[in-house]
Structure 1
Amino acid sequence: MQTRAQWPHLLPLLLLLCGGCTCVCGCNETEMLQRLPLCGKAFADMMHKVDVWKWCDLPEFVVYYNNFTLCTEEETIDVGCYWPNPLIQDFIIGIHQQFFSNCTVDRTHWEDPPDEVLIPLIVVPILLTFAMAGLVTWHNKCSGGRL
């Protein structure tokens, strides 16, 4: 049976094997807030290459936005914070307000068609269903159940 005094020689081996382990020292929010503007600046530089009237057209900048998101994620994780977190969300909302505040969502307003169109669309399938059921019943009675 090994005693605790024999365990310390395993510590360097564990540290060597866990070279890629993340630090659990906690979130350094100050450092995170200092790094995030670099992601924002890189995104802004790329967005300024896109015509302003195309800023609301997602396919025009989706690669830049993906790079921006990955940058914020990497910088946040590098300083030991979770992604997303409230500070990141506030930062991203600020970027959205800067670049996408003039983009509107044109939602189609759906409404029922006028009654002269709606009533036939409802009644005709119902009548056809009754007619087909009656036709099948009549056919079965006349043929004696043979097909």
Structure 2
Amino acid sequence: QYTPSRSPLNVPLVMVIPSPGGCARVCCCNETGMLERLPRCGKAFATMMRKVDVWKWCNLSEFMVYYERFTNCTEVETIIVGCYWPNPLAQSFITGIHRQFFSNCTRNRGHWEDPPDEVLIPLIAVPVLLTVVMAGLVVWRSRRTDRLL
């Protein structure tokens, strides 16, 4: 016996099967159906992105509404076929869309290097020495207070 969860459109989302231990199991993810439905979201997103100048594709504020619709679409289409979201197949699809539209958005950043030893040693030594000095002052002050009382 199972109890189907339903979406607002009265479409079964996930079949929940009670197990002997009292925990519900989720079954019936139609991965083939999901892979057939997700491209609809990609096509709709591509249509919306044509409204944005290509040189603005790296500025999220220019197409945030479109991306939110795309994300919601992938979530709905995944859940309709009884799968959880996100899942590896949906993530792979979304990654493909990212490669298609945002592959040029990564900026070439300079190679990070450690600073020279003349800079690095004081940056490490000063906080260590200050910690030792402060701990010594606390111990010294606490012993001195005991003598005054």
TM-score normalized by structure 1? 0.59
Q: Given the alignment, which residue of 81, 84, 87 partners 2:86? A: 84
Describe the SS at the equivalent of 2:106: coil
Describe the SS at the equivalent of 1:93: helix
Q: Which residue of 2 aligns with 1:43?
A: 45
Closer, same or farther: CA 114–81 of 1 in aligned 2, 3 Å: closer
Aligned letter for 2:56?
Answer: K
Aligned letter for 2:69?
Answer: N
Higher alpha-carbon Rg: 1
Structure-to-structure mapping, 1:108-147, within 5 angstroms = none
Which has the bigger relative contact order, CA under 8 A and spacing at least 6?
1
Q: 2-side partners of 1:31 and 1:119: how far apart?
A: 59
The answer for unaligned runs of 5 or more in structure 1 is 1-13, 123-147
Of Structure 1 and Structure 2, the greater helix share is in 1
Describe the SS at the equivalent of 1:42: helix
CA RMSD in angstroms, aligned pairs only: 3.9
Q: Which residue of 2 aligns with 1:29?
A: 31
Structure 2 residue 77 is matched with structure 1 residue 75? yes
Of Structure 1 and Structure 2, the greater strand share is in 2
Find runs of 4+ consecutive structure 1 residues off by over 4 angstroms: 20-23, 106-122
